[in-house]
């Protein structure tokens, strides 16, 4: 857990900190693979119920290891972080993915 806190501390002044924090928390508490996290779109989330759809749809650039879509769950702490992040994204109406290359 110390490495995770160190990572969050390292990025705390970064312009995309909320997005990074959301991705890290979602990865920790949902069990999604890194590749699945990077492919998530805003419409994959039901943040009221702490559910994320891990979609296998190559037409949207989303794939899973076993080529099947599935549902994953996360905790209320992650829900709160995601709600804050996704609300900002939806207000911008330009970002479709939770992760984008501009984070690097």
Each residue's pLDDT tens digit, 49-82:
999 999 998 888 888 889 999 999 999 999 999 8
Q: Which two tokens stand for residue 93?
A: 């109406």
**CATH number of the domain bearing residue 71:** 1.10.443.10
What is the CB-side half-sphere exposure of residue 76 using CA atoms within 13 A? 0
Give the predicted TM-score (pTM) of the model. 0.77
Please give the backbone phi and psi of residue 52, each rounded to the nearest 5 degrees, phi first.
Answer: -130, 135
Domain count, the chain: 1
d(CA 61, CA 99): 13
- Range of the structural domain that residue 94 is part of: 2-103
pLDDT, mean over the chain: 84
């Amino acid at each position: 857990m110390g490495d995770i806190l160190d990572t969050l501390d390292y990025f705390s002044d970064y312009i995309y900190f909320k997005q990074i924090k959301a991705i890290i928390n979602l990865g920790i508490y949902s069990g999604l693979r890194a590749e699945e996290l990077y492919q998530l779109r805003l419409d994959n989330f039901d943040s009221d119920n702490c559910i994320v759809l891990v979609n296998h749809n190559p037409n949207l650039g989303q794939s899973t290891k076993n080529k099947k879509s599935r549902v994953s769950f996360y905790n209320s702490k992650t829900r709160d972080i995601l709600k804050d992040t996704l609300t900002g994204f939806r207000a911008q109406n330009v970002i479709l993915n939770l992760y984008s290359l501009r984070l690097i």
